[in-house]
Structure 1
């Protein structure tokens, strides 16, 4: 079978057994956060799945997304008064913080990266936590090898999550996509400049993670 036929077969399998690569990291995100916290901001909240999960730990959650259609779906699926959604530009329309937690999943590559993380730093309360799950442009040999390793795992996950049955594409996967332009080293360099002490790591399923704790003035990180 030629490479093009292999890719076509993979596309057909993924269409029949879709699963949300971003939602795969939602529980991991919760593990980076305190058990209880005050205000949370979810940037690019989409269908609201992560915002509703954050609400199990937060006093209030504010989700913002540029897509009016998917925000309407998020509102229709949310029955907690502590979770609110709005349509807007994350860089200009987000209500001022401070927020104790800021999350941003597969969205920051749609924004000017430096402007976005600078805003997140300004909006985050001292002692607060920023968690980003992002997408970078494959550039190095390691990037391509990690991408190749993810292919068979992606097939297995699609089969297991759908229990072998054909499935309907989740609402969370209907938002517009855009290819990443920054490489992982570019992201590490810029994030380290803006967010001292930030932790970044390449992940499976074509993602990377960024975790930053806003240390109160005078606190030394361990």
Structure 2
């Protein structure tokens, strides 16, 4: 994010602490729009408390959610009704990912925690022919475009917080319990490396400090 005066940052922190909303979940419906109406199987890497995995279960006959955090996997299992066809596994990605193949692989705000190229190769290799990979990621800000989108996201972030919480303070949602870390790759670096692994991949910068990646395996 572009530097702001310290007192403004403190005020924004207080505001968002009282009205938190999930920036990653904001992209879940967009992810579903990138997928076919029905698929056989889906893999959600870095599934957290399972919000996206449960949504994918509306499209897929079976869904496998994977996360390295045992506590959040336990929470995902608690939140998922037994009738919903989702299986959760504690595993480190990319080495511990199930073999597949899968018709859909998703990964939201987790790729920057993983060895980048190895993770993309693992996602690619687990896709069935005709399968779709969808990633929502974060990048280190560097370019003027990055900073412009970051600045534009600040007032929109306030508007979204008011809309999603209806202006009232709410409890902070639990999507993960493990410690997060900042992204170390810039968006141009991500584009360059992704194109070397996934020919024809589509990447876009997005508001709310995110970018997206979509790739279809032929």
Superposed pair shares fold, TM > 0.5: yes
Counterpart of 2:148 in structure 1 is 145
Counterpart check, 1:86 vs 2:89: yes
Q: What residue number does 2:134 align with?
A: 131
Q: TM-score, normalised by structure 1?
A: 0.94
Query: Any unmatched runs of 5+ in structure 1?
Result: 216-222
Q: CA deviation at 1:93?
A: 1.6
The alpha-carbon deviation at position 176 of structure 1 amounts to: 2.4
Aligned residue in 1 for 2:199: 196
Q: Does the aligned pair in 2 maintain the 1:46–1:175 contact within 8 Å? A: no
* Runs of at least 4 residues off by over 2 Å: 173-176
Distance 1:173 1:89 in 2: 15
Name the counterpart of 1:219: none
Unmatched tracts of structure 2, length 5 or more = none
Distance 1:137 1:49, change over 3 A: same
Partner of 1:185: 188
Give the alignment partner of residue 58 of structure 1, picking from 57, 60, 65. Answer: 60
- Provide, for residues 8-30 of structure 1, a one-character-per-residue CA deviation record: whole Å limited to 9, x for no partner: 00000010000000000000000
1:90 offset after TM fit, Å?
1.7
Number of residue equivalences: 214
Q: Secondary structure at the match of 2:175?
A: helix
CA shift for structure 1 position 173: 5.4
What per-residue deviation string (whole Å, max 9, x for no partner) do you get for residues 2-61 of structure 1?
Answer: 810000000000100000000000000000000000110000000000000000000000
In structure 1, distance between residues paired with 2:138 and 2:96: 23
Match of 1:161 among 159, 164, 180: 164
In 1, Cα distance between equivalents of 2:116 and 2:185 = 9
The answer as to 2:50 corresponding to 1:48 is yes
Q: How much has 1:94 moved relative to structure 2?
A: 1.5
Secondary structure of 1:211's counterpart equals strand
1:34 is aligned, of 25, 28, 36, to 36
Return the offset for 1:174. 4.5
Work out whether residues 104 and 127 of structure 2, in 8 Å CA contact, stay in contact via their aligned partners in 1: yes
Larger displacement relative to structure 2 (56-65 or 78-87)? 78-87
Contact 1:62–1:84 under 8 Å retained in 2: yes
